[in-house]
């Protein structure tokens, strides 16, 4: 009926007893193509007009997003090669504003994007503010993708191949004003983008990845200056990787508090 493994359905029934059928139905539908307009190169309204001039209809989403009525190859998007826009899902576009909103960020504020590849959230942070940003990823090839993304958009950051969970190998001892931890996860929230995920995952993967998330949270938290902000996010709908992970973190760290979004 649902085209998901039974264990997946049962976990969603447990985690989201009121909404699990809607989640499963959504997983079986193709997702829309969402763009993020580079606010350093122009306004969203102006770019929307450029799309319309090319016969491409779109609707605003969030602060910087446009949802295309019909998906398009990126070479059909005006100015894409020149960095006027990027492809990024609407939910992923929430991360940078959550880290930066509600305070004045002085030019040169130190920010860590701990699991940065392919660089979409890194770029979104830099489109919003003039930051001293360090972007990490464990995979050299994926780090090259971050560099390519920043180059196309006309942005600059320090990109390093390193394990965020091993600060001794890369941290210079200076605390960060903000940390974005887009942690490794089951990707249970992006099934409509990657339909094979539900069949490739196994039940034990949830606990295994939750342990990785916990290690990263506990390791990176001391690198934040007093009063700094850490945004923890995953692309999973499983509570073990989201709400339960956050609650457990708060129980271990009495110097942390949740900031209402």
Residues identified as active-site: 235
Burial class (CB in 10 A: 0-12, 13-18, 19+), 196: exposed
Burial class (CB in 10 A: 0-12, 13-18, 19+), 111: buried
- CA 253 from chain centre, in angstroms, equals 24
Strand arrangement, sheet containing 176-182: 158-161, 131-137, 109-113, 176-182, 224-233
d(CA 216, CA 214): 5
Which stretches of the chain are DSSP H helices?
6-15, 20-27, 44-53, 95-100, 120-128, 140-153, 197-200, 204-220, 243-252
DSSP state of 181: E
Cis peptide before 162 (omega within 30 of 0): no
DSSP state of 217: H
């Amino acid at each position: 009926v649902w085209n998901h493994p039974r264990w997946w359905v049962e976990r969603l029934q447990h985690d989201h007893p009121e909404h699990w059928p809607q989640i499963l139905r959504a997983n079986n539908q193709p997702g829309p193509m969402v763009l993020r307009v580079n606010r350093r190169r122009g306004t969203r309204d102006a770019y929307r007009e450029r799309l319309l001039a090319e016969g491409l209809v779109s609707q605003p989403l969030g602060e910087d997003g446009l949802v295309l009525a019909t998906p398009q190859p990126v070479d059909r998007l005006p100015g894409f090669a020149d960095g006027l826009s990027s492809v990024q899902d609407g939910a992923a576009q929430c991360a940078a504003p959550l880290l930066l909103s509600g305070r004045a960020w002085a030019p040169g504020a130190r920010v860590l994007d701990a699991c940065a590849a392919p660089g979409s959230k890194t770029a979104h942070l830099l489109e919003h503010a003039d930051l001293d940003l360090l972007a990490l990823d464990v995979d050299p090839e994926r780090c090259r993708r971050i560099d390519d993304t920043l180059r196309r958009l006309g942005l600059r950051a320090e990109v390093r191949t390193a394990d965020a969970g091993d600060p001794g190998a890369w941290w210079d001892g200076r605390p960060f004003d903000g940390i974005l931890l887009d942690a490794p996860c089951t990707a249970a929230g992006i099934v409509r983008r990657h339909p094979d995920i539900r069949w490739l995952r196994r039940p034990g993967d949830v606990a295994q990845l939750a342990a990785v998330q916990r290690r990263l949270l506990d390791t990176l938290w001391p690198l934040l200056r007093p009063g700094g902000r850490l945004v923890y996010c995953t692309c999973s709908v499983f509570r073990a990787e989201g709400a339960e992970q956050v609650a457990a973190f708060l129980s271990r760290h009495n110097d942390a508090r949740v900031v209402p979004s």
